C-alpha cells in the first residue's frame, strides 16, 4: 500500500513534468507577401492610362504606402512576421508585384493582417537617423514634417472628371491622396477558415494579394470626382479619412 501512496504522486509528477515540456518547435519557411496593384482585372502600371469601373479615365503616377506589423493569423493566435516596410511601385519593374520576403514559422494559418501606415512610435521617428535604404529615411520622400510625421499612403495621378471621354486623359486634372497622422493608421485583415493555408517547413510560400484602384474610389466610401481630388490630410481630413477606409479594404486575396 505504501507503494501505491508513492506511485500516485510520482505519476502525477511525471504527468506534470511532461505537460511542461514545450511542443516541438516548428521550423521556418521563406514567406513572401506579394501585393499586385490592379484596376479591376488589369494589372496596374504607373504612367499608363486606364478606364475605371465607372468609365473615368485615370493615369496613376505614384503609389507607395507603409505596411506595418504584418501578422500571420492562425486558429491559436497571431504571429508578427514583419514590423515595417515601404511598398513603392517606383521600386519595382512595370507589372511586377510589391513584395517583401521574411522567414516565417511553418504552420497552418487562416489569414494575414497588417496595418497601413505607421504606429505612433514609428510615426514619431526622426528620419535623419536612418540610413538611406531604410523605409523611414528621408530618401523615401515620405516624411512630411515634425508635427505630422510621415505620409502613410501616397497615391497620385491624373484623371478625367467626365465619364466616357476619349483619350488621352487630362494632364491638368490631378488627384493626390496623401494620408497621414496617427488617427489614420488603419488595419487590413484578410483570409478566413475557407482560405486557410499551410506553410510547410523549409519550403517557399508566397501569399498573393490584389490592391484594386477601383476599390480605392468606390469602396465603403464613394469618392466621386466632383468631391475634390486632393488631400494632404490636414488640408482635407474628411477626404483623407474616406480614402483610408477604402484603401484598407482595397486588398483582396488574389484569385488562385
Nearer to other proteins, 29 or 244 (CB): 244
How far apart are CB 137 and other proteins at their closest, in Å? 7
Q: Which stretch binds other proteins (CB under 8 A): 13-21, 93-101, 169-177, 198-206?
A: 169-177
The C-alpha atoms of residue 59 and residue 169 are separated, in whole angstroms, by: 7
The C-alpha atoms of residue 228 and residue 87 are separated, in whole angstroms, by: 26
Candidates 11, 139, 162, 224: give the one binding other proteins (CB under 8 A): 139
Residue 90 interacting with other proteins (CB under 8 A): yes
Residue 121 interacting with other proteins (CB under 8 A): no
> Is 56 within 8 Å of 91 (Cβ atoms)?
no
Residue 253 interacting with other proteins (CB under 8 A): no
84-88 contacts at long range (C-beta below 8 A, 24 or more positions apart): 84/118, 84/122, 84/135, 84/136, 85/135, 86/135, 86/140, 86/142, 87/35, 88/63, 88/64, 88/140
> Is 231 within 8 Å of 239 (Cβ atoms)?
yes
CA 20-25-31 angle, 5° bins: 150
Build a one-symbol-per-residue string for 27-66: x at contacts with other proteins by CB under 8 A, - elsewhere.
--------------------x-----------x-xx----
Q: Which stretch binds other proteins (CB under 8 A): 4-12, 137-145, 203-211, 217-225?
A: 137-145
How far apart are CB 81 and other proteins at their closest, in Å? 28
Task: Specify the DSSP class assigned to residue 255.
Answer: P
* DSSP letter string, 15-26: HHHHHHSPPPPP
Candidates 41, 131, 194, 226: give the one binding other proteins (CB under 8 A): 131
Candidates 107, 117, 135, 157: give the one binding other proteins (CB under 8 A): 157
Candidates 37, 111, 117, 127: give the one binding other proteins (CB under 8 A): 127
Nearest to 161 by CA among 152, 153, 150, 173: 173
The C-alpha atoms of residue 255 and residue 114 are separated, in whole angstroms, by: 20
Q: Please give the residue ranges that form the binding site for other proteins (CB under 8 A).
A: 47, 59, 61-62, 90, 126-128, 131-132, 137-141, 143-146, 154, 156-158, 171-172, 174-176, 230, 232, 234-235
Amino acid at each position: 500500500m505504501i507503494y501505491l501512496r508513492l506511485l500516485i504522486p510520482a505519476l502525477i509528477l511525471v504527468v506534470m513534468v511532461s505537460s511542461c515540456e514545450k511542443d516541438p518547435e516548428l521550423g521556418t519557411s521563406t514567406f513572401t507577401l506579394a501585393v499586385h496593384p490592379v484596376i479591376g482585372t488589369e494589372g496596374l502600371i504607373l504612367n499608363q492610362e486606364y478606364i475605371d469601373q465607372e468609365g473615368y479615365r485615370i493615369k496613376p503616377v505614384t503609389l507607395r504606402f507603409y505596411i506595418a506589423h504584418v501578422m500571420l493569423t492562425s486558429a491559436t493566435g497571431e504571429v508578427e512576421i514583419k514590423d515595417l516596410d515601404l511598398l513603392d511601385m517606383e521600386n519595382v519593374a512595370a507589372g511586377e508585384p510589391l513584395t517583401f520576403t521574411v522567414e516565417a514559422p511553418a504552420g497552418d494559418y487562416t489569414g494575414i493582417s497588417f496595418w497601413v501606415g505607421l504606429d505612433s512610435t514609428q510615426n514619431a521617428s526622426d528620419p535623419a537617423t536612418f540610413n538611406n535604404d531604410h523605409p523611414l529615411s528621408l530618401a523615401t520622400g515620405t516624411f512630411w514634417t515634425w508635427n505630422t510625421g510621415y505620409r502613410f499612403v501616397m497615391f497620385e495621378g491624373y484623371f478625367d472628371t467626365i465619364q466616357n471621354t476619349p483619350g488621352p486623359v487630362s494632364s491638368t486634372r490631378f488627384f493626390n491622396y496623401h494620408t497621414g497622422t496617427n488617427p489614420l493608421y488603419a488595419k487590413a485583415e484578410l483570409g478566413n477558415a475557407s482560405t486557410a493555408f499551410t506553410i510547410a517547413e523549409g519550403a517557399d510560400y508566397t501569399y498573393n494579394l490584389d490592391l484594386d484602384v477601383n476599390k480605392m474610389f468606390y469602396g465603403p466610401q464613394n469618392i466621386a470626382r466632383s468631391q475634390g481630388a486632393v488631400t494632404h490630410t490636414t488640408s482635407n481630413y474628411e477626404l483623407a479619412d474616406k480614402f483610408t477606409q477604402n484603401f484598407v479594404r482595397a486588398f483582396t486575396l488574389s484569385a488562385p
